[in-house]
Structures are given as structure tokens and as C-alpha cells.
Amino acid sequence: MVFEKDRIRKILCIKPRGIGDIVLSTIILENLLAYFPDVKIDYLTESFAKESVEDNPFVNKVLTMERTEFSLKVAMNIRKEKYDLILDLWSNPRSAQITFLSGVKYRVGFNYRGRRYAYNILATSERGAHHSAEHNLELLKAIGVPVISNKIHFYLNEDALKFGNEFFKNNFKDGSLIVGIIPSGGWQSKRCDASKWVEICSTISEKIKAKFLILWGPGDEQDSNYIKDHLKDYCALAPNTTVKQMSGLIKNCDVVIANDSGPMHISAALDVPTLGLFGPTNPLAHGPYSDKSDFIVMKDLFCINCNKQECPYHHECFVNMPICDVLNKVLEILERNHKSVKLNEKD
């Protein structure tokens, strides 16, 4: 099919979930707008993930759907918008079906087995050769869009900024360096053990003057309360928040330590120095996508990057992670980002 660039006025990007994956997909936005300067770009996400691209100045509108909603119904809603181009950034069986039924002239998706029928422009199916953020750029290459930017995007509204600023003003009054910690993780195997978090934070606090903010979401309550109970006075527990409110808190941290999770990617997108703790997933493909950030992984462990959602062993990838390596990575990130660090007197 001949792709007629001049006919493109309205684009829909499909990325229903998860929050981190949606944030990583925003790497395409500046490139699209540079190539199609007068275009309007909309996103389709599931309702719970709308905040991932809401308030993004590059996005015209966010359409939403529910996980159980009929594909035909979603496609009919898309038809009403009269898009010229769809980029299916997910390209799973359901999004392929929605794309096919949408009736949009140019339908771009990945060349995955069983889904090729849905698209009339195919991008490479190769995965693992680059970071998952950069994998989204393959869709642009399929339609000849030059890559001029590798930046991912997440934006805060005024309410979220105010929420974060006021929380820090009320809870951190002594000018300490603030380390945000995020015990979240979509899989149980991606979650660093709560006892290990205590060990990590205790070691950091022995070396430098720092306080910790535990950032959590649904399902993190047990681990977060355990960490708070053991760290006591030099730790604060964030209140129950929305995604945007949590992000307002993240924005105020000097450095964030996180499991592989959506909030980790938000932190990197907000230009907050971020250290990702990795076990079952590959940090080269899923690490914090930012020059200010880094990751740590026990790369020589026999089962590392297993991609298993439940650990069949003893969670050695986190339990045995050397604390000195974590501390050194944190100090390195702080120095690289010109963060002022005060050593404890004994050091």
C-alpha cells in the first residue's frame, strides 16, 4: 500500500495498559508531530490507565474502553472519530481485532503471528534487541517517520503538583535528602522482599543523611506497612493516592528506588533520578528509560531474567542482591545528577 503522508490529519494510538507500557509508548509523540505538524493525536487506553497520558500536551484526547467491552463496540466508537491512521502499539489479539474493525484507512501494527490480518502496514516483530520504549519506534519506521527524539513523556496537572509540594512541606522540614522507594510490582516475582527494602534503606541511612518516602498503590499495603514499621522515624508513608498524586510525590524526591513497575517508568519520565531493582525481567529491555537513571541486577544468577510471574526457587534475585552494590549505585546516581549528599559523621 502506498502511504500518503499528506492525507494524515488525525491519528489514534492504541495502548490499553499497563501504565508503564503506556508511558514508554509516548516516545513516538514528538516524532509524529515533527513529521505531521498539523496532526491531532489521540490515545485509546483502558479507563484505569487514562492518567498515563492525560494532561500530555502532545495528546489531543484520550478515548477509554473497559477490559470486558466488546471489540466491535470499541471499534464503532473509533469509526465515529474518522481517523486517518491507527498505530496499534499493543498489537495483541484484542487490539488487532479492534484495529481491523475500525475501518481506518492506514492500520499499522507489529508483524506478530496471528495478527497480521488486522494491519495493512506491518512493522518488524523482533523484540528483545532494544529497550521496549524503542520497540514502539518500529511502527514509525514502517511509515517512514524519522526518529528525532527518544524522550518519553509524563505530565502533572496543577492539582498533582500542589499535592506533592504540600505533602513534602508538611512532612520533610529539615532539608534532608529524600529517597522515594516503590515496593510495587505487577508480578509477585518482580517485588523486592519487604525485609530487603528495610535492609537497603537502613544501609543507605547509615552512610548518608537521608529520609525515605514509601510510595505505594493497591496491593502494596502489607509490604509498605512492614517497611514503615521497621524504618520508623526516618521514613514517611505516602497516603492513599491516585496515579497523578503519587507522581506529584515522586517529582519531589531527590532519587527513587523502585521495582520494575509503572511508577518506576513514571519516575524516569519525570526526569527524577531512578534506580530500578531487577530480577525476573531484563533491565536492558525494561529498565528506567532515562540518562539520569540506572538499574541493578544479579546478572550471573543462574535463573536471572526468567520472566516467571511466581518464583519457583527462593527469590534469590532479590534476597541475595548485595546491599553494597545497591548503596554504591545510589551514591553514583546522586553524584551524576549533582545531588548534594551529607555523609553521617562516622563516615
- Helical residues (DSSP H) of the chain, grouped into ranges: 19-25, 29-35, 71-81, 93-101, 132-135, 137-142, 158-171, 194-207, 221-231, 243-251, 262-269, 283-286, 316-319, 323-336
- As a whole number of angstroms, the distance between CA 317 and CA 308 comes to 12
CB within 8 Å of 291: residues ≥ 6 apart: none
List the domain boundaries for the chain: 5-142, 158-336
Task: Tell me the pLDDT of the chain (347 aa) as tens digits.
Answer: 788 899 999 999 999 999 999 999 999 999 999 999 899 999 999 999 999 999 999 999 999 999 999 999 999 999 999 999 999 999 999 999 999 999 999 999 999 999 999 999 999 877 767 899 999 999 999 999 999 999 999 999 999 999 999 999 999 987 789 999 999 998 999 999 999 999 999 999 999 999 999 999 999 999 999 999 999 888 999 999 999 999 999 999 999 999 999 999 999 999 999 999 999 999 999 999 999 999 999 999 999 999 999 999 999 999 999 999 999 999 999 999 999 888 887 54
Domains 5-142 and 158-336 fall in the same CATH topology: yes
pTM: 0.95
Chain center to CA of 178: 21
CATH, domain range 5-142: 3.40.50.2000
Amino acid at 301: L
Indicate the class that CATH gives domain 158-336.
alpha beta
Q: Residue 265 burial (CB < 10 Å; 0-12/13-18/19+)?
A: buried
- CA distance linking residue 275 with residue 258, whole number of Å: 6
Q: How many whole angstroms separate alpha carbon 282 and alpha carbon 132?
A: 10
Contact by Cβ (8 Å): 286, 201: no
